[in-house]
Amino acid sequence: MIRFNNVSKVYPNGTRALNKVNIDIQKGEFVFIVGASGAGKSTFLKLIMKEEEPTSGSIIVNDTNITEMKRRKVPYLRRTMGIVFQDFRLIDKMTVFDNVAFAMRVIGARPKAVKKRVHYILGLVGLKDKAQSRPAELSGGEQQRVSLARALVNNPSLIIADEPTGNIDPEMSFEIIELLNEINKQGTTIIVVTHEHELVHKFKNRVIEIQGGEIMSDTGAPTEKADVKIEIAEEELAEIPEEIAEEIPDVSSEELNREALAAIEDEEAAEE
């Protein structure tokens, strides 16, 4: 699904963020990317999302060489991804339901499809009873669950979580990783960048360590998954209902935040 072939990245100021990196991540894997600050973890993610270009080497995502991808096709690449941020990036003036729903609304999904899918996803992350709450009324862990729900709502094949536990307490951190683990069991590829080694060791997932822009260690794909539990009803972990899946637009990307804010401003201007 993702392959880095001898990839190097040198920024204009001379900083070598990655040096001849070779990585192969298969569809359906759960991979932790660990390393100290400045090791090259964020650059690794930016290259996958094509926010940065490699200085040399090639990057394959979903059987496509994105190194050669034209700029106009980049949004289609990002529609296959769901992004979870450390700082949540929720819109304060919107409810939980609307924060999750906007990713479908801004690309023209029908109201009926939005309602079905969003309620389904909020149930999946354990926030169905918080649908009408505002972000300020939620704990840090709950806000991160909203961020995860938003990343999931368009059914991406890949979830990228950049330090998703950085702003929440240890107990909530474990719950977030448990939830990602359960999502991975449904076939979604998960990549989590983190510096929390203790958290990583609690799960039997693949761990890639980056130091100084190079791969220092790679445990490889595990033969068995960690036996972790999370309180989600089995029916909510089942395959997405067919009538809902058919309505899901093929889009998912971080720039939707900006589009959502613009959509809100347009609505407010129209009301005035």
**The pLDDT of residue 99:** 94
For 189, counting Cβ atoms within 10 Å of its Cβ (0-12 exposed, 13-18 middle, 19+ buried), the class is buried
For residue 221, pLDDT over 80 is answered with no
Tokens representing 88 are 């949540």
What's the pLDDT band for 163 if we cut at 50, 70, 90? Answer: confident
Q: Which of 40-44, 52-56, 204-208, 244-248 has the lowest mean pLDDT?
A: 244-248
Q: Which of 35-49, 75-89, 177-191 has the lowest mean pLDDT?
A: 75-89
**The pLDDT of residue 266:** 52
Exposure pattern of 78-102 as b/e (b: 16+ CB <10 Å)? bbbbbbbbbebebbeebbbbbbbbb
Three-state secondary-structure class, residue 260: helix
For residue 88, pLDDT over 90 is answered with no
**The pLDDT of residue 175:** 86
Tokens representing 151 are 């990343």
Across the range 144-159, mean pLDDT stands at 90
Would you say 253 and 104 are in contact if contact means Cβ atoms under 8 Å apart?
no
Integer Cα distance of 44 and 33 in angstroms = 9
To the nearest whole number, what is the mean pLDDT of the chain? 82
Task: Pick the more confident residue, 194 or 272.
Answer: 194
Would you say 55 and 224 are in contact if contact means Cβ atoms under 8 Å apart?
no
Output the pTM of the full model. Answer: 0.77
For residue 53, pLDDT over 90 is answered with yes
**The pLDDT of residue 238:** 39
Q: What percent of the chain has pLDDT over 90?
A: 49
For residue 194, pLDDT over 70 is answered with yes
